[in-house]
Structure 1
Amino acid sequence: MSIIVTGATGKLGGHVVEQLLEKVPADQITAVARTAEKAADFADRGVRIALADYNAPETFDTLFSAGDKVLLISGNEFDKGRVRQHEVVIDAAKAAGVALLAYTSAPGSLTAALADDHRGTEEAIFASGLPYALLRNGWYHENYTENLAPVLEHNAVVAAAGEGRISTASRADYAAAAVAVLTGEGHENTTYELGGDTAWSFAEYAAELSRQTGKEITYNAVTPEVLTGILAGAGLPEPLAAVFAGVDASIEKGELAVSTGDLNRLIGRPTTPLSEAVAAALKG
């Protein structure tokens, strides 16, 4: 039996493999990557490496074995048909008879277009008949703290979320939840709605940035249409910019304020506060 992590060299996948190494022997972990170079550090530490690509179905043909636990980390190629990419993994997992297929999805309450691929993937998982665990991850602190340069340049947080609140947590927190499911028992056919312990508004985010930088940083609330234009002007393809602006509209409606406590319970500790993520980003 192996624990197999797809997208293992990505930002979330890397955290998952690192935390798995703290819990199970390296030779029981398989990191799936597109190139050996990206996975070289894991290979040096004894992790098994499998080269596979969501866009090349044949690369998954013999990757899984009966009894494996698989974490399918959702792809980020929004223009390449993510549901079909994910179905490549689901089909291979079904053919092999894996013990569990865990999937990093999106909150069940999210109606923004970004959720469409996740819902389609969940439907494919249900149809497969595989034992599953849906990890409906809320948003990451890092979605905001990794892009502070324009905020600090203009002393403004720009969003189309009105006074809506959002429950974020760190990537490491969400990775810890995945590791708990992959290394634990009794998670079959379970859905977890995951989010940080404390929801915050963008006005509060701006206030926290002000507190930590000593600068006066304001929250500039705009419409989704204006935000789409800003993002497109910064280089994002307009359709993708509209998708991200749609997420802000969902935040305004409260769709990303997760109050289940599932993440806290899975990882057995409080989730990382936003203030810590801001401090780390400013220090870095």
Structure 2
Amino acid sequence: MSIVVTGATGHLGRLIVTSLLDRGVPAGQLLALGRDTARLADLAGRGVTVRQADYDDPDSLRAALVGAEKLMFVSGSQVGRRVAQHHNVIAAAKEASVGLVVYTSIAKADASSLILATEHRATEQEIVAAGLPYVFLRNSWYLENYLPQLPTYLQHGVTGAAGDGRISAAARADLAQAAAEVLTGDGHTNQVYELGGESFTLAELAAEVSRQSGRKVGYTDLSVAEYAEVLIGAGLPEGHAEVLADCDRGAAEGELHVASDDLTKLIGHAPVTLAEAIRTAL
């Protein structure tokens, strides 16, 4: 068995490689791809083969996937460019006759109205059209999207545009374990998993930060346009700010709430909760 993991220099991709190693997959059967292989030196030190590959470079992808039995396809991070980039990955996987493509998508990708979902939906459709055996891991939000903001929350409170919408965020480590399971387990081919943790509202996020920190933290709910302006004022590029504000709009409408227990079933235990994540971060 040979498993290729794309985006291994990113947070999730790296965790997937280490999760595979923790499950006993021999390092010699793993190939970790990234644009900057220097950032993969620690994995190379554990015996994992590392190789330079870029979603914008079809030749590098074709070379990397020669002989691959399974592909862990971690979605790209450049919103607006992912359809073309993902096409390059899919074309290389088809040319290499990869036996299974595991793709990190987004919650409810086939029906979601989120701006972020558009490229994921197109990628899922192209994988299916290519005739490649697949597993779609439709990850909801990451808990880590919020944890780095704790100092800001403690000083200024939580701000957003998600209303009372519930967000089924999960820790990257749990999502990585789920990916490792479908890459090494049986019975997952052509399955779609909706993955999320215990849900919470942003008001509940603020309340939990208050409870654990002992400082009063509130939630200010804004319009989508107002929230985008706040993000721009904080230094985010306009396009990025609009995408994030749209995610809160979708959260308010239930787009990031995952009702299934797919994540628990895949990893064999309850996912990390918001309270646990905040406790660790604080």
Give the fraction of aligned pairs with identical amino acids, expressed as a percent: 48
1:148 maps onto 2:150 in alignment: yes
Q: Please report how far the alpha carbon of residue 67 of structure 1 lies from its aligned counterpart in structure 2 after TM superposition.
A: 5.5
Whether the aligned pair in 2 keeps the contact of 1:66 and 1:99 (CA below 8 Å) is no
The equivalent residue for 1:70 is 71
What does residue 20 of structure 1 align with? Answer: 20
Report what 1:223 is aligned to: 223
SS at match of 1:4: strand
Q: Which residue of 2 aligns with 1:280?
A: 280
Across the two proteins, how many residue pairs are aligned to each other?
279
CA distance in 2, matches of 1:126, 1:169: 27
How far is 1:6 from its partner? 0.2
Deviation at 1:94, TM superposition (A): 0.5
Match of 1:159? 160
- The residue identity in structure 1 corresponding to 2:195 is L
| Paired residue secondary structure (2:39) | coil
1:123 aligns with 2:125: yes
CA distance in 2 between partners of 1:147 and 1:99 (Å): 40
Q: Deviations over 1:100-136 (max 9, x none)?
A: 0010000115311111110111111111100000000
CA distance in 2, matches of 1:64, 1:199: 37
Unaligned regions of 5+ residues in structure 2, if any? none
1:12 counterpart SS class: helix
Farther off after superposition, 63-72 or 210-219: 63-72
Does the residue aligned with 1:75 lie in a helix, a strand or coil? Answer: coil
Q: Is the 8 A contact 2:4 2:31 kept in 1?
A: yes
The amino acid of 1:208's aligned partner reads E
Q: How does 1:21-170 map to 2 (within 5 A)?
A: 21-23=21-23, 24-66=25-67, 68-79=69-80, 81-108=81-108, 109-154=111-156, 156-170=157-171
Preserved CA contact (<8 Å) 2:4 2:68: no
Shift, 1:62, TM fit: 2.1
1:146-174: CA deviations, max 9, x gaps?
222221221x1001011111111100010
Inter-partner Cα distance in structure 2 for 1:19 and 1:138: 19
Q: For residues 202 and 69 of structure 1, what CA distance do their matches in structure 2 show?
A: 38
TM-superposed deviation, 1:74: 0.7
RMSD: 1.1
- Give the structure 1 partner of residue 11 of structure 2: 11
Partner SS for 1:271: coil
| Unmatched runs of 5 consecutive residues or more in structure 1 | none
**1:142 Cα deviation from its structure 2 partner:** 0.6
Question: SS at 1:192's partner residue?
Answer: strand
Would the aligned equivalents of 2:140 and 2:256 in 1 still touch at CA under 8 Å? yes
Q: Deviations over 1:41-61 (max 9, x none)?
A: 000110011110011111012
